[in-house]
Amino acid sequence: MIVGIGTDVVDVDRFGLSLERTPALLAKLFTPAESELPLRSLAARFAAKEALAKALQAPPGMAWHDAEVVREISGRPRFEIRGTVLEVATALCVRHVHLSLTHDAGIASAYVVLEG
């Protein structure tokens, strides 16, 4: 059963300007491991976190670091969720989080499907 769906699109250059204008955003939005990635990957991960929040019905108080995008050995992206995000997902009876990322032509996007 589908519990939630979320999608988000990020302009990579605009996102880069935001990070330049407000350097503290990098540490606020991303874990240390995520922070080391190139800009287009950061933009895709930001889109993923936004898409996840939408799929979870955007509850207040969720912490950005509680949803970390990691890569499996195959290269496939997936979420590691914990803390505030795990609490909301558990309350919604989420059993699996599906994630798709892409970045091309200056745009990064993410699609999230929550399965119960």
Q: Give backbone dihedrals phi and psi of 25, rounded to 5 degrees, phi first.
A: -60, -35
- Percent of the chain surpassing pLDDT 70: 100
Once rounded to an integer, what is the mean pLDDT over residues 53-80?
94
Asked if residue 31 has pLDDT above 90, the reply is: yes
Distances (CA, A) of 29 to 3, 73, 110, 115, 116: 25, 24, 16, 25, 27
Domains of the chain with CATH codes: 2-115 (3.90.470.20)
Asked if residue 59 has pLDDT above 90, the reply is: no
pLDDT band at residue 115 using 50, 70 and 90 as cut-offs: very high
Global pTM reads 0.95
